[in-house]
């Protein structure tokens, strides 16, 4: 029998552990609509906090929010040839706008003249607006962001990581010059790195995708890549320099300072609810979820321990006094959120519910703590029995520091794990193959982590990679500048790349 709260453990069955953590934390569940999920209040609270943190960063870098249609006319999607090819296989298509009863059965009627696609991404529909908004170089840069739902039909959906409908923000910007657009692309990649590392406590590698992994229609795609605890990679955010491809498709032109008419340069960039999947797989342990304090819907739960009913009112009053002592404090973007769990259930049961939900701090108070004006504090980054006795008077002065320590500990732990699982020593194709070959047939998920090695750019070798289910995650922005041999072909190569199995 398992002695952990989550069964199976990460080592026993990582994919199933992931599902069980989500269930135990009451984050989300599948719905009767294929590939669409229901995000429950605890999961939604995490997403709201993530939105708040990112939204501030998007505004601070000069962008404004707006909202564009859910539907894209089929002909719009075709405006960029590579783009439509990239999304054609996963489009939800609206073809009718009415239901009618026929032979006792409700069927779609009133066919549309032109089918509408539920947006898989919005370059083409937003481009249409931009072509009307941009006339002169004075209108540039145009810096717009949208928070929205998008749909990409998924054959193998997985909660948060790959769902047919997902929620995201998509930034879309227009610039006069390539240099300006490239600067924007990299600026937003850095915003994503900051969000991932300082809010999600998830270390990431910034890099560029290979041609094969580019966003359909982009000139360059940059990404942040994180390592999950099964040592697979998760693409956590992307930022694209789109060149003039979409500007030409959507006719986004402007008169420059010399009076000449030019096509603009555009960018787009997005992160999604997938980040919550990344958070779960980066920080979760065999007792359930661990939510970084900056994202946790609640920071602290106070669990009153009432051994005798007649003491209930007093202990509850003491719990309220503690909660009140924290009132008005702010952590990051919002007020400290303190919850008193008043439910009339077994204390151990309640305690474990909060452990599984990953709340950063649990505080237990009983009659003796009350008399001593103490409290017992448990941190989710420490073993679940490790307690700290604190004086109630010290709590307000200590609490923000404790939350910072937990936030920091999650990042350090994740970074240590990732760094320990990046292999930099592979020089030969045979070593490379061995590294990605499962050591144990019964557990194919146990294999090497990331390889940081040289890549010659050989197309055939990229095919072989695919057969091994390995992909080039990115060519890190930080390049060593050294020469070496390609890990796949043994040919001379100078580009550093990250190779990994991925979600």
Per CB under 8 A, the segment of 93-101, 230-238, 274-282, 412-420 that binds its own copies is 93-101
- Distance separating alpha carbons of residues 63 and 291, to the nearest angstrom: 28
Q: Is 24 in the site for its own copies (CB under 8 A)?
A: no
Q: How far is the CB of 86 from its own copies (least distance, A)?
A: 11
Q: How far is the CB of 226 from its own copies (least distance, A)?
A: 24
Q: How far is the CB of 84 from its own copies (least distance, A)?
A: 7
Q: How far is the CB of 16 from its own copies (least distance, A)?
A: 20
In 3D, which of 160, 236, 232, 170 has the Cα closest to residue 203? Answer: 236
Q: Is 335 in the site for its own copies (CB under 8 A)?
A: no
Q: Is 404 in the site for its own copies (CB under 8 A)?
A: no
In the complex with its own copies, the residue whose CB is nearer, 67 or 425, is 67
Q: What would the two tokens of residue 409 be?
A: 């500990």
Q: How far is the CB of 143 from its own copies (least distance, A)?
A: 10
- Distance separating alpha carbons of residues 72 and 117, to the nearest angstrom: 5
Q: Is 82 in the site for its own copies (CB under 8 A)?
A: no
Q: How far is the CB of 391 from its own copies (least distance, A)?
A: 32
Q: Is 136 in the site for its own copies (CB under 8 A)?
A: no
Q: Is 340 in the site for its own copies (CB under 8 A)?
A: no
Positions 164 through 223 that interact with its own copies (CB under 8 A): 165, 167
- Distance separating alpha carbons of residues 220 and 360, to the nearest angstrom: 39
Selected binder of its own copies within 41, 438, 444, 492 (CB under 8 A): 41
In the complex with its own copies, the residue whose CB is nearer, 297 or 449, is 297
Per CB under 8 A, the segment of 97-105, 210-218, 333-341, 374-382 that binds its own copies is 97-105
Q: Is 307 in the site for its own copies (CB under 8 A)?
A: no
Question: Where in 103-241 does DSSP place strands (E)?
Answer: 105-118, 142-151, 165-175, 205-208, 220-227, 233-241
Place of tokens 């009618």: 100
* 184, 269, 503 from 190: Cα distances, Å: 10, 11, 22
Rg over alpha carbons for the chain, rounded to the nearest Å, is 26
- Distance separating alpha carbons of residues 58 and 145, to the nearest angstrom: 8
Per CB under 8 A, the segment of 16-24, 35-43, 170-178, 375-383 that binds its own copies is 35-43
Task: Find the Cα–Cα–Cα–Cα dihedral 456, 457, 463, 467, rounded to 10°.
Answer: 50
Selected binder of its own copies within 39, 234, 426, 474 (CB under 8 A): 39
- Distance separating alpha carbons of residues 38 and 169, to the nearest angstrom: 19
Q: How far is the CB of 334 from its own copies (least distance, A)?
A: 12
- Distance separating alpha carbons of residues 344 and 307, to the nearest angstrom: 12
> Is the distance from CB of 43 to CB of 279 less than 8 angstroms?
no
Q: How far is the CB of 314 from its own copies (least distance, A)?
A: 25
- Distance separating alpha carbons of residues 244 and 258, to the nearest angstrom: 19
In the complex with its own copies, the residue whose CB is nearer, 65 or 428, is 65
Q: Looking at the DSSP assignment, which residues form a beta bridge with residue 116?
A: 73, 94
> Is the distance from CB of 171 to CB of 58 less than 8 angstroms?
yes
Selected binder of its own copies within 69, 157, 457, 484 (CB under 8 A): 69
In the complex with its own copies, the residue whose CB is nearer, 210 or 273, is 273
In the complex with its own copies, the residue whose CB is nearer, 139 or 458, is 139
Q: Is 401 in the site for its own copies (CB under 8 A)?
A: no
Q: How far is the CB of 111 from its own copies (least distance, A)?
A: 9
Q: Is 16 in the site for its own copies (CB under 8 A)?
A: no
- Distance separating alpha carbons of residues 453 and 331, to the nearest angstrom: 41
Place of tokens 């700290």: 388
Element (H, E) at 83: helix 81-87
**3-class secondary-structure state, position 89:** helix
The dihedral through the CA atoms of 168, 236, 299, 347 has a sign that is: positive
Per CB under 8 A, the segment of 27-35, 352-360, 380-388, 404-412 that binds its own copies is 27-35
> Is the distance from CB of 163 to CB of 273 less than 8 angstroms?
yes
Element (H, E) at 30: strand 28-30
Selected binder of its own copies within 65, 82, 412, 479 (CB under 8 A): 65
Question: Where in 257-386 does DSSP place strands (E)?
Answer: 261-263, 265-272, 300-304, 330-331, 334-335, 338-340, 361-365, 374-379
Q: Is 31 in the site for its own copies (CB under 8 A)?
A: yes
Q: Is 348 in the site for its own copies (CB under 8 A)?
A: no
Per CB under 8 A, the segment of 143-151, 315-323, 326-334, 355-363 that binds its own copies is 143-151
Query: Rule CB under 8 A: which residues touch its own copies?
Result: 29, 31-33, 36-41, 44-45, 47-48, 64-74, 76-78, 84, 88-100, 106-108, 115-118, 125, 128-129, 132, 144, 148-149, 151, 153, 165, 167
């Amino acid at each position: 029998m398992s002695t952990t709260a989550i069964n199976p453990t990460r080592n026993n069955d990582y994919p199933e552990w992931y599902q069980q953590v989500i269930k135990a934390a009451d984050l989300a569940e599948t719905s009767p609509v294929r590939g669409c999920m229901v995000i429950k209040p605890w999961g939604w609270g995490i997403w709201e906090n993530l939105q708040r943190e990112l939204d501030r960063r998007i505004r601070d870098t000069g962008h404004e929010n707006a909202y564009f249609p859910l539907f894209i006319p089929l002909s719009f999607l075709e405006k960029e040839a590579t783009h439509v090819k990239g999304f054609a296989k996963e489009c939800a298509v609206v073809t009718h706008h009415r239901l009618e009863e026929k032979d006792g059965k409700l069927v779609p009627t009133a066919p549309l003249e032109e089918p509408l696609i539920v947006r898989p991404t919005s370059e083409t529909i937003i481009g249409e607006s931009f072509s009307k908004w941009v006339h002169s170089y004075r209108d540039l840069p145009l810096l717009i962001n949208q928070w929205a739902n998008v749909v990409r039909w998924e054959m193998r959906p997985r909660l948060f990581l790959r769902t047919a409908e997902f929620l995201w923000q998509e930034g879309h910007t227009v610039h006069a010059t390539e240099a300006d657009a490239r600067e924007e692309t990299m600026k937003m990649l850095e915003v994503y790195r900051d969000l991932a590392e300082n809010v999600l406590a998830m270390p990431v590698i910034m890099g560029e995708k290979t041609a094969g992994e580019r966003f359909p229609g982009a000139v360059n795609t940059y990404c942040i890549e994180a390592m999950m605890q099964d040592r697979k990679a998760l693409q956590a955010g992307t930022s694209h320099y789109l060149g003039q491809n979409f500007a030409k498709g959507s006719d986004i032109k402007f008169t420059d300072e010399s009076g000449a008419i030019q096509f603009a340069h555009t960018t787009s960039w997005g992160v999604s609810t997938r980040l919550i999947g990344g958070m779960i797989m980066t920080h979760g342990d065999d007792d359930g979820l661990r939510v970084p304090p900056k994202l946790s819907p609640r920071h602290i739960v106070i669990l009153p321990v009432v051994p005798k009913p007649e003491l209930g009112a007093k202990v509850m009053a003491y719990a309220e006094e503690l909660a009140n002592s924290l009132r008005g404090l702010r952590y990051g973007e919002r007020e400290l959120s303190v919850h008193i769990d008043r439910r009339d259930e077994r204390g151990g049961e309640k305690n474990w519910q909060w452990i599984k939900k990953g709340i950063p701090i649990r505080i237990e108070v009983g009659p003796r703590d009350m008399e001593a004006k103490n409290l017992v504090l448990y941190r989710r980054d420490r073993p679940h029995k490790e307690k700290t006795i604190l004086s109630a008077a010290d709590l307000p002065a200590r609490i923000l520091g404790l939350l910072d320590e937990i936030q920091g500990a999650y990042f350090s732990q994740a970074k240590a794990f990732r760094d320990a699982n990046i292999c930099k020593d592979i020089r030969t194709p045979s070593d490379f193959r061995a590294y990605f070959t499962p050591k144990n047939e019964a557990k194919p998920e146990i294999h090497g982590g990331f390889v940081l090695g040289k890549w010659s750019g050989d197309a055939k070798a990229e095919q072989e990679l695919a057969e091994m289910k390995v992909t080039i995650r990115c060519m890190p922005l930080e390049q060593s500048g050294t020469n070496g041999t390609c890990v796949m072909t043994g040919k001379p190569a100078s580009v550093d790349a990250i190779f990994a199995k991925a979600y």
